[in-house]
Amino acid sequence: MIRVGIVGIGFMGWIHYLSYRGLRGLRVAAICTRDSKRRSGDWRGIQGNFGPPGERVDLSRVATYSQLDDLLADASIDLVDLCLPPALHAEATVRALRAGKHVFCEKPIAVSSTDAKRMLRAAQQTDRLLMIGHVLPLFDEYQWVLQTAANGTYGKILGGNFKRVISHPDWLPDFYDPHIVGGPMIDLHVHDAHFIRLLFGMPQAVSSQGRMRGEVVEYWNSLFHYEDSHATVCVTGGVIQQPGRSFTHGFEVHFERATVGYELAVVDGQAQLILPCTVYPAKGKSFRPRLGAGDPLGHFRAEVRAVAQGIQSGSVAPFLCPQAAFDALRLCHTQTEAVRVGRPVRVKA
């Protein structure tokens, strides 16, 4: 039995808590939050953009802590699940690893590359597993593309266009702070940067044009430059003034013998499937591949199952790999620099 301690009981802490329910081999044995109301089990104030709202939870068999060090001193805890704001990831991760715990940290790995490197070094030095919660590769449409690229059904992958755009998140006061959240590049686009890294590897350079908002990029278009000049990968991301369409994401991925498209949007509070995942083969009619039920909570359950498998086998799944998460962060920072200087920028090691 892997005993889990969740640190940070907000929306993602709630989603992770729900994900562990009913899974064999995993049990939430502790939580850590400074909110006394939530330590008492009253999580009714939690609300997010998917899943059920928070409720009263029974913590009678769960240790509750207000300080991270107290949870880390609990010898019964095997895995620390970090759902803290991104700027706090590095310090909490390093402390947990040094305390002998495995760490499962929500994306992004960190806000700064310096902090991310500290996390990677700590994992190497302590011989503990560090896993980063990039769940997008488990979403049905994205998982299908990854599997299709891996099995070569339609030949070599040639490139793709990716999009992730939101309206202004007025409820997040630190969203545009480059040191706390990092703006839409770090909080939002890091999903697609990570997915692109898994599909195509790391580019040599990026070209980006966009609009700055203080020290962060508000909206941009980027082109990724690969050694293989035939690989054409581009992205659109950021924030625009569109309160009626609070979120949209999607892709068009090109293989040698097929193109795959998908787009979803949230319009006036309702999710709309603009284009279901559709395959356009080089020969024959288009079709929609058979996918899962599309339940976001199901994707998070699959994610924590993979975390457990990683601990049991000592081998981390590629989508949880901390190096891939660090590479995604590097791609975000490189695009920001490219917008700022107005020319292509090489991706630094």
List, in sequence order, the alpha helices (H) in 113-211. Answer: 113-126, 140-151, 183-184, 190-200
- Please provide the average confidence, as pLDDT, over all residues in the chain: 95
* pLDDT confidence of residue 282: 96
| Residues 59, 115 within the same domain | yes
Does pLDDT of 294 surpass 80? no
* pLDDT confidence of residue 205: 97
pTM for the model stands at 0.95
**Which range scores top for mean pLDDT: 167-176, 290-299, 310-319?**
310-319
Domain membership of residue 317 (yes or no) is no
* pLDDT confidence of residue 126: 96
Cα separation of the two ends of the chain: 38
Whole-Å CA distances, 1 to 69, 145, 154, 308, 311 = 23, 33, 41, 10, 11
* pLDDT confidence of residue 59: 95
Q: Is 22 exposed, middle or buried (0-12, 13-18, 19+ CB in 10 A)?
A: exposed
* pLDDT confidence of residue 345: 98
| Residues 112, 145 within the same domain | no
Whole-Å CA distances, 160 to 143, 156, 224, 232 = 15, 12, 10, 6
Q: What is the pLDDT of residues 66-91, one digit of tens each?
A: 999 999 999 999 999 999 999 999 99
| Residues 24, 104 within the same domain | yes
Domain ranges, residue 38: 2-131
Structural element, H or E, at residue 136: none
**Where a domain ends, among 104, 131, 158?**
131
List, in sequence order, the alpha helices (H) in 48-112. Answer: 68-72, 89-98
Question: How do 157-166 and 245-255 pair as beta strands?
Answer: antiparallel
Domain membership of residue 255 (yes or no) is yes
| Residues 167, 98 within the same domain | no
Domain membership of residue 197 (yes or no) is yes
Residue 81: which CATH number? 3.40.50.720
Domain membership of residue 188 (yes or no) is yes
Judged by average pLDDT, the poorest of 20-24, 126-130, 247-251 is 20-24
Give me the percent of the chain exceeding a pLDDT of 90. Answer: 88
| Residues 169, 280 within the same domain | yes
| Residues 45, 155 within the same domain | no
CA distance 324 to 85: 20
| CB-facing half-sphere around the CA of 181: CA atoms within 13 A | 16
**Where a domain ends, among 107, 131, 155?**
131
| Residues 84, 203 within the same domain | no
| Residues 122, 141 within the same domain | no
**Please, which pLDDT band fits residue 32 given cuts at 50, 70 and 90?**
very high
**Where a domain ends, among 115, 131, 147?**
131
| Residues 44, 169 within the same domain | no
Give me the percent of the chain exceeding a pLDDT of 70. Answer: 100
| Residues 159, 272 within the same domain | yes
CA distance 318 to 300: 16
Domain membership of residue 37 (yes or no) is yes
The domain total for the chain is: 2
Domain membership of residue 192 (yes or no) is yes
Domain membership of residue 320 (yes or no) is no
| Residues 18, 92 within the same domain | yes
Q: What is the pLDDT of residues 323-332, one digit of tens each?
A: 999 999 999 9
Beta strands in 143-188, from DSSP E residues, in sequence order: 157-166
**Please, which pLDDT band fits residue 296 given cuts at 50, 70 and 90?**
confident
**Angle between helices 89-98 and 113-126 in degrees, nearest 10:** 10
Residue 266: which CATH number? 3.30.360.10
